[in-house]
């Protein structure tokens, strides 16, 4: 009898099944609310990082052309999402490595081949525009390379990515 009193007088520790289910349901609701925001943030980050990588690739090729006093042709393969650079005269690489962008991206451009002169100027007639976006995402970024001195700017693209226009790129 004394052993039974000791056992029943001790407080039981732990959670009941009902408390565990309530906690799981609360976590599930919070996750359902937060997941779309998290996925949107991840997609925005992928677009921003790829825009930075693409712009840096152009800048490196431009500097390399000036430094070596040779032309550098940069090709953006919008299918494989790779950026490579070679000297168009002898096919020597002018980018040290192939730049790979996220496969989730959609890249549209009016000119996938940019040639920088030995002075770093861009051999293009019209501004080259690159629009980086993802399907079902309203976050769009753009890179514009201007003819002549080859100024490279990036910004937010406010137009339809199927219609390439440098006026839709907001550099602010």
Check: pTM over 0.85? Answer yes or no.
no
What CATH number did the domain enclosing 88 receive? 3.55.40.10
**Domain for residue 105, yes or no?**
yes
Cα distances from 80 to residues 21, 29, 76, 85, 93, in angstroms, run: 46, 38, 9, 15, 19
Which residue range forms the structural domain that includes residue 161?
Answer: 18-170
Number of structural domains found in the chain: 1
Domain assignment of residue 6, yes or no: no
Nearest by Cα to 112 from 167, 57, 52: 57
Per-residue confidence in pLDDT tens, the chain, 172 aa: 555 555 555 667 888 999 999 999 999 999 888 888 888 888 888 899 999 999 999 999 999 999 999 999 999 988 888 888 888 888 888 888 888 888 888 899 998 999 999 999 999 999 999 999 987 667 899 999 999 889 999 999 998 888 899 999 999 7
For residue 128, being part of any structural domain is answered with yes
- Paired with 99 in beta bridges are 83
Would 7 be classed as within a structural domain?
A: no
Q: Is residue 10 part of a domain?
A: no
Domain membership of residue 11 (yes or no) is no
């Amino acid at each position: 009898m004394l052993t039974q009193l000791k056992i029943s007088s001790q407080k039981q520790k732990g959670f009941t099944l009902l408390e565990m289910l309530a906690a799981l349901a609360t976590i599930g609701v919070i996750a359902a609310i937060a997941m779309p925001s998290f996925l949107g943030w991840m997609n925005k980050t992928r677009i921003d990082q790829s825009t930075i990588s693409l712009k840096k690739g152009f800048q490196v090729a431009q500097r390399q052309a000036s430094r070596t006093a040779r032309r550098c042709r940069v090709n953006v393969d919008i299918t494989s999402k790779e950026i490579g650079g070679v000297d168009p005269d002898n096919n020597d690489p002018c980018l040290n490595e192939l730049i790979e962008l996220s496969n989730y991206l959609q890249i549209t451009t009016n000119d996938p081949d940019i040639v920088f002169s030995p002075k770093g100027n861009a051999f293009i007639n019209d501004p080259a525009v690159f629009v980086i976006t993802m399907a079902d995402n309203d976050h769009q970024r753009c890179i514009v390379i201007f003819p002549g001195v080859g100024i490279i700017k990036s910004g937010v693209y406010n137009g339809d990515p199927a219609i390439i226009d440098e006026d839709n790129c907001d550099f602010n």
